[in-house]
Amino acid sequence: MIGRLNHVAIAVPDLEAATAQYRDTLGAQVGPPQDEPDHGVTVVFITLPNTKIELLQPLGDDSPIAGFLAKNPSGGIHHICYEVSDIRAARDRLKAQGARVLGTGEPKIGAHGKPVLFLHPKDFAGTLVELEQA
């Protein structure tokens, strides 16, 4: 059901510093910051030959990333994102197998302009999983 790894998301307390570290220290191709108000984050994508890294910073006080950073002040891996060919079919299959879909269960448009859903970390070895329609 899942396809390729789309990205690994890392929550950071200082987006500008993290972006500079990936660009200047690691020599990575870094995109511009994008505000994603529907998700409460500002993101920067780092393009790698085989996937992407998504740096996340809270956008507003009620951002879910703010809570993550309160528990992990230095930042850390927040979620992994897999591609699926049909997000609603994937959701229905996962729910039928007992997996919990976060939020309303309806896909939202993510930072790549495609539908996304998040799956409860307790159902996936403690890892928050994002599904993105390819």
Just list the catalytic residues.
130
Strand partners, 52: 7, 47
Number of Cβ atoms within 10 Å of the Cβ of 125? 7
Answer for the pair 115, 87: CB distance below 8 angstroms, yes or no: yes
Beta-strand ranges (E) seen in the chain are 5-11, 29-30, 34-36, 41-47, 52-58, 76-84, 108-109, 115-119, 128-133
DSSP assigned state of 122:
G
